[in-house]
Amino acid sequence: MSAMTAALRIPDPSGLVRRHGGDPVAWRTLPGLADYVETGAAMEARVEWIIAGTAPEAVWLLEHPPLYTAGTSARPSDLLEPGRLPVFATGRGGQYTYHGPGQRIAYVMLNLAERTPDLRRYVATLEDWVIATLRRFGVAGERREDRVGVWVRRPGKAEAKIAAIGIRVRRWVTFHGIALNVDPALSDFDGIVPCGVTGLGVTSFADLGIGVTMAEVDAVLRAEFVRRFGPVEG
């Protein structure tokens, strides 16, 4: 399938809005650099509350200190510099990725049973969310059928990933989410094979010469999220 065909895979940008209304999604921006273990435990707890019906769905925007995470498909050989940064095993799908300051992470906790219980559509909609956000800043992001994430073509260079996606689902409630490179230390990606993909690059808004603040990115992420998933609160 061509990139253009893939880009048309979701004709309805509001396809994952809740079918029967319900509470708005709780939208929260965490201050500072969020501890990976503590945040992961809080996310696990929130997922259980959503399953139990005692808390609304949520999106948390945050940054982590510099670290690597290993998804459920991570290959040990893809950790090129084991002592460079802390490494955390995680239950999300995918392989190794980097998190650090300057990267906007969105942990997305939605109940797909109340929306559309279709994981492929959910991942594609996350990609579409990122692509629409990039478009607002003049960046042409694209999806690929053979690799998850959002990619940018660079004249004279290999195409590069600007956003990674890794999810986990429990009883149709999603967690983990996206990592969008605003202005992280791209050199830290050198310690891994990012997402198990060789021969391609990693980029960011700053690397593409686009000066944008995290607050500006957050505002657009929120607006484009609402178009696809429905109202938020907070």
Q: Which one-letter amino acid corresponds to residue 5? A: T
pLDDT higher than 90, residue 9: no
Place of tokens 């690799």: 147
For the chain, counts of helices (H) and of strands (E): 4, 12
Q: How far is CA 216 from CA 7, 133, 147, 185, in A?
A: 24, 10, 28, 19
Tell me what pLDDT residue 78 has: 92
Cα-flanking dihedrals φ and ψ of residue 16, to 5°?
-115, 20
pLDDT higher than 60, residue 5: no
What does DSSP say about strands 103-109 and 173-181: parallel, antiparallel, or unpaired? Answer: antiparallel
Q: Given 195, 197, 212, 214, which residue is catalytic? A: 195
The predicted model gives 77-99 an average pLDDT of: 92
Tell me what pLDDT residue 12 has: 65
195 is catalytic: yes
